[in-house]
Amino acid sequence: MALPACDSTEEPAGCERFDFPLATPTSSGHLAVCDSPACGNGENPPNSGPHCGSVARCGVYTEPVSRCLYVHNLEHGHAVFLYNCPEGCPDEVAKLEAAAASVGTGANGVRRALVAQDPLMPQRVAAMLWRRTYSADSADPEALRCLLTHQDADAPEPGLACPGS
């Protein structure tokens, strides 16, 4: 009996209802000054573009992380989960933290994801990979799972380990 060949390009069941289009390619070099207004690709939040020469440590932050740092994380194939809830949103943060906990670890055993505040975002939550963003006012765990199927697919330097906290 012949078995059908597996097609590794198929999305997992249910993911076809989500669209995470690639942002327009931009330069992605390192900046001499990490808080430069030239950081990022002009999207809010930025998901690619010029960035710092350093990366942020992976893990969960209770404060904002420099956009120029986390854009470099994205270049390495790390997942970045952000929230903007001045009044607090523990349920949304818990969903983002759960998604981050599902991300694989690098060679050093550190999960290749970070969760942080971003008070500059227009929506309450965002999840990003290099050139891909999911943003909403409430995180959909299924959408987060589907976005993560693209991890490392488009990153210029995929699969690199992330320093831990």
Side-by-side strand order, sheet with 59-64: 59-64, 113-117, 79-83, 125-129, 132-136
Which residues have a Cβ under 8 Å from the Cβ of 80 and sit 6 or more positions away? 70, 73, 74, 113, 114, 116, 127, 128, 129
**pTM for the full predicted model:** 0.92
pLDDT tens column, 15-25: 999 999 999 99
Of the candidates 71, 96, 72, 101, the residue with the CA atom closest to the CA atom of residue 84:
96
pLDDT tens column, 23-32: 999 989 999 8
Q: Is 80 exceeded by the pLDDT of residue 5?
A: no
